[in-house]
Structure 1
Amino acid sequence: MGRKALCLGLTCVLFSYYMYRPMPDNIKDEWKIEFIDALVRTVTSVGIFLENIGVMRYEQLSMLLEMDYTGPVSYENITVTDTTFSDIPVRLYLPKRKSERRRRAVIFIHGGGYVIGSYKHTSYDIFNRMAANQLDAVVVGVDYRLAPQYKFPIALEDVFAAVKYFLHDEVLAKYGVDPTRICISGESSGGSIAAVVTQQMQNHPEFKRKIKAQALLYPVLQLIDLWTPSYRENAHGPVLSRDMGIKMICLYITTDKMCIEAIGLNQHMPEESRHLFKFTNWTILLPEKFKKNHVYTEPILGRYGFTYSEFIDPRISPLLVNDSQLQNLPLTYILTCEHDILRDDGLMYATRLRSVGVQVAHDHMENAIHGGLAYLGRMLSLYQATKLRDKYISWLDENI
């Protein structure tokens, strides 16, 4: 009881302190975002404290706040079921209306920094139900094993296995899916996985023609340079701070606590990685309006002597693939948010894809924060979540 009271007291004090943090000018739903931001920072501080004294791990406390889950409840127009594809849990949304032709399909990969999240999350469930209903499409939500228990590349391998299973002709026929009208989509860390799976599928002889489009919502696309203008401008949030992003990245890669210090200083890359910086050089790849007055500083390489191959692995940083590997990618939709540390990742990917001839549609949401989709349909539902959903569904409707 004493331990619980201590935790509650600390939480209340920290929450009260954090509530007064100023928000960016002209941001929508300011009081809601202030509340969410204060809650996230409070939980983060308490989680780190509890981890340091050995009560529980940081991510365990974060997961307790993510338990807003819903079961596979069907309704008038959509049948919802939980099943597995190649032993990977998936949630299927199948329209009930009869169709004279095969339907299009959307594979959705949730975010959560590789550490939290599930297709069972109420907001994602609402999002996927709406997409299935409004598009008259088969929607597949994929769950993957989470860090730190399951480190890179387990999450990617889980999604890749589920997608491959779904793309087999007999499975597509079973669910009435048109094999020429399939989109892979994902948000945040799920956007990274979606981008990598799409790259891998385009090089797979059996499946390379079965992905018509990819939709990436505020995706994380590189670990090379975590001091781009968007990382600098939004280092303290709102909601997703640079420190929190680094913490989750490290949980996905390694148990070495020096990882956090090294990435925090942007000195984590090995000596042999210098040639890769051309793929994330924001001075060239960012539109002028996003460069502002920032001055590029090349990271110090080899400072910590890390030998982690993950830092230079394109399966975790899809921006690192060369131009020839990007040329065959399908129609792409990218959404970025102004107040988001990951904003520049999406902008740079859009630039690189366009430069090699890939058709790209890019929506940039001014005054929006990272992860708005996670608040869709909840008590603290954000205006930007509804706008994001509408942009996403509209683009899918026109392009797949």
Structure 2
Amino acid sequence: MKQECYPSDHWWFVPAITEKQGLSEGLTVVEQIAMKVFLTVTLLLALLSAYYIYIPLPPTISEPWKLMLLDAMCRGVTTMGTVAHALGFIHLADVLNYALMNLEEPGTKSSEDVRVSDTSFAGVQVRVFQSTLGKEGEMKRAVMYIHGGGWALGSARAGFYHLLGRKMAKDLDAVIVSVEYRLVPKVRFPAPYEDILLATKHFLQPEVLARYMVDPGRVGISGDSAGGNLAAAVAQQIAIDDSVSNKLKVQALIYPVLQALDFNTPSYQQNQYMPILYRQVMISFWLEYLGANPSYLQALLVNNHTALDVTQVEVARAKLDWTVLLPPALQKQYKPVVQIHGMAQILEELPALLDMRAAPLLAEQDLLARLPHTYIMTCEHDVLRDDGLMYFRRLQDAGVAVEQDHYEDGFHGCMAFAFWPAYFSVGLRSLDNYVAWLHKNL
């Protein structure tokens, strides 16, 4: 019988494999090695990906695997931005903002129910969402909304905040003013606060409210995270500013950041490695916002700036004594972290740490008593949980009508994930309940 042969120069030609032949019989030695290398590399990449993505999360958190994937994406972008920043190419905040602006679903500007326009209030850029529903000539309610992002990230004009403005305007039949305040690192404290205050005071002028057909008695202020910080600080100033005739009816604070004197509250200890806001990241945001030396991070991490021998914080301590302000069930097994000897120069260089414009939780009780009806949303798996809960208690003690909305399965930023590209059940619930509260109380 004539033996069939294959031209040696036809390297691409592979003999057919019969049913009785195994894979190894149909491949040359080189091809078998290549296949083993390919499978090994694939397995290693899969293991590395799983190792990078997986982080231990409590079973009570909303959709943990989805949160792991989301957190891995955030860490990946942050790592690339950190490298670019270290090499001097671009600031980390610019990298993160670019990703946020381009990865989130771009919102269309206007719709049949909501008219969207960009303008400026007292030189501050704002995006205005005006409901076109309701009867012609009917006065509407309004909300000044301040976006979060550690005073360095986010935009009123893109992604979640554009979609949120449209939804609020439509569902509340309202006018929503989303403020495009200046961001770190181009500015530092108190510039973002001053932007929000200027825009809010401008909007509260009778002639401006009349132009937008807004009822002067139905204006609120709201914000999430760092935006909640700015909303709370501006609400305090508006409450005591005699030059403002129209006062705010409500304030709604979404997982707000309210103090930088204790980074070891029970929620900071419990959630220090919890997505999406790690404890060290929150401290870094504070240092950037205040224009501080980044090397202070470790000192703040262990509360060296509020040690017993740092006399500047003696008066402030009682205003954030979580052993008194938090219910025992939330204190759990955690103990206060109080150093005997600390670094007084931190407060000397950063007096804003004791400034209520930066840390609204430090306001005096008589000022708190003048604040409007308040809503505070908190999440169990969030380093900022106790900031919101301590403020809730202090407002209660001051006689303010205040309501708390706490999510046992929530994490920081969860309300932002009520829209594309990542839906979380807690995001949908928190957004619906937030809008429902405004609908009832504004």
Taking structure 1 as the reference length, the TM-score comes to 0.93
**Mapping for residues 248-267 of structure 1, pairs under 5 Å:** 248-267=285-304
CA-to-aligned-CA distance 1:286-335 (integer Å, 9 cap, x gap): 11211011112324564262211111111110010111111111000000
Report what 1:3 is aligned to. Answer: none
Distance 1:371 1:242 in 2: 14
Aligned equivalents of 2:305, 2:179: Cα separation in 1: 31
Work out whether 1:81 is the aligned partner of 2:117: yes
Whichever of the two has the greater Rg, that structure is 2
Deviates further, 90-99 or 80-89: 90-99
Q: For residues 214-246 of structure 1, give each alpha carbon's deviation from its aligned partner in whole angstroms, at most 9, with x where no partner exists.
A: 000000011111110000011011211001111
1:34 maps to which of 68, 74, 81: 68
- How many Å separate the matches in 2 of 1:229 and 1:396? 30
User: Whole-Å Cα distance in 2 between the matches of residues 95 and 46 of structure 1?
Assistant: 40
Q: Which residue of 2 aligns with 1:6?
A: none
| Contact 1:214 1:331 (8 Å CA) reproduced | yes
1:105, 1:177 within 8 Å by CA — same for their partners in 2?
yes
- Measure how far apart 1:13 and its partner are: 10
Which residue is equivalent to 2:319? 279
What is the CA-CA distance between 1:276 and the residue it aligns to?
Answer: 0.5
Q: Name the SS of the counterpart of 2:319 in structure 1.
A: helix
Out of 230-239 and 297-306, give the one that drifted further: 297-306
Tell me, yes or no, if structure 1 residue 61 matches structure 2 residue 95. yes
Match in the other structure for 1:341: 383
Structure 1 residues 112 and 301: CA distance shift in structure 2, 3 A: farther
Tell me how far 1:99 sits from its aligned partner.
4.0
**Offset, 1:18:** 2.4
After the TM superposition, which of the residue ranges 371-380 and 385-394 deviates more from structure 2? 371-380
Match in the other structure for 1:20: 54
Tell me how far 1:36 sits from its aligned partner: 1.1
Distance 1:315 1:73 in 2: 33
Q: Comparing 182-191 with 54-63, which one deviates more in the overlay?
A: 54-63
Measured against aligned partners, the alpha-carbon deviations of 1:83-122 in whole angstroms (never above 9, x if no partner) come to 1111111111111133453111111100000010111122
Deviation larger for 42-51 or 282-291:
42-51
SS at match of 1:63: helix
- Kindly provide the CA deviation profile for residues 194-226 of structure 1, in whole angstroms up to 9, marking residues without a partner as x: 000000000111326520000000000111111
Deviations 1:325-346 (A, max 9, x none): 1111100000000100000000
**1:376, CA displacement in angstroms?**
2.9
Measured at CA, do residues 14 and 104 of structure 1 come closer, stay the same or move farther in structure 2, by a change above 3 Å?
A: farther
2:338 alignment counterpart: 298
Partner Cα distance (1:27, 1:333) in 2:
23
1:399 aligns with 2:441: yes
* Letter paired with 2:247: K
Partner AA of 2:390 in structure 1: M
CA contact (8 A) 2:107 2:163 kept: no
Among 431, 434, 438, the alignment partner of 1:389 is 431
Matched, 1:43 2:77: yes
Kept after mapping to 1: 8 A contact 2:284/2:294? no
Letter in structure 1 aligned against 2:439: D
Per the TM alignment, residue 389 of structure 1 is displaced from its structure 2 partner at its CA by 1.0
Taking a change above 3 Å as real, the CA distance of residues 23 and 208 of structure 1, as seen in their structure-2 partners, is farther
Which structure has more relative contact order (CA 8 Å, sep 6+)? It is: 1
* Counterpart residue identity of residue 344, structure 1: D
- Distance in 2 (CA, whole Å) between partners of 1:45 and 1:355 is 44
- Aligned position for 2:212: 175
Between the aligned partners of 1:133 and 1:183, the Cα distance in structure 2 is: 16
Partner Cα separation in structure 1 for residue 388 and residue 107 of structure 2: 32
Measured in 1, the distance between the counterparts of 2:220 and 2:205 equals 15
Residues 152, 171 of structure 1: CA spacing in aligned structure 2 closer, same or farther, 3 A cutoff?
same
Question: What secondary structure sits across from 1:138 in the alignment?
Answer: strand
8 Å CA contact retained: 2:222, 2:228:
yes
2:251·2:373 contact (CA, 8 Å) conserved in 1? yes
TM-superposed CA distance for 1:355, in Å, is: 0.6
Match for residue 259 of structure 2 among 218, 222, 228: 222
How far 1:258 sits from its partner (Å)? 2.1
CA-based RMSD of the aligned residues comes to 2.0
Q: Distance in 1 between matches of 2:47 and 2:183?
A: 31
State the secondary structure of the residue aligned to 2:399. coil
Query: How far apart are the structure 2 equivalents of 1:273 and 1:301?
Result: 13
User: In the alignment, what sits opposite 1:151?
Assistant: 188
Structure 1 CA distance for aligned equivalents of residues 361 and 418 of structure 2: 29
CA distance in 1, matches of 2:132, 2:48: 48
Q: Say whether 1:233 aligns with 2:270.
A: yes
Instruction: State the alpha-carbon separation in 1 of the partners of residues 291 and 232 from structure 2.
Output: 22
Kindly tell me the number of residue pairs found equivalent between the two proteins.
390
Q: Which residue of 1 aligns with 2:86?
A: 52
- Secondary structure of the 2:115 match is strand
Indicate the larger mover: 89-98 or 374-383: 374-383
CA contact (8 A) 1:108 1:140 kept: yes
1:65-144 pair list within 5 angstroms: 65-67=99-101, 68=104, 70=106, 73-97=109-133, 98-144=135-181
Cα displacement string for residues 33-69 of structure 1 (whole angstroms, at most 9, x for unaligned residues): 1111112223333433433343433222222221137
- For structure 1, the residue ranges without an aligned partner over 5 or more in a row are 1-11
Q: Distance in 1 between matches of 2:169 and 2:49?
A: 38
Rounded Cα–Cα distance in structure 1 between residues aligned with 2:315 and 2:421: 47
Equivalent-residue separation in structure 1 for 2:303 and 2:192 (angstroms): 25
Distance 1:87 1:14, change over 3 A: farther
Partner SS for 1:268: helix
Closer/same/farther in 2, CA of residues 340 and 30 from structure 1, 3 Å limit: same
2 CA distance for matches of 1:13 and 1:262?
36
- What residue ranges of structure 2 are gaps of 5+ in the alignment? 1-45
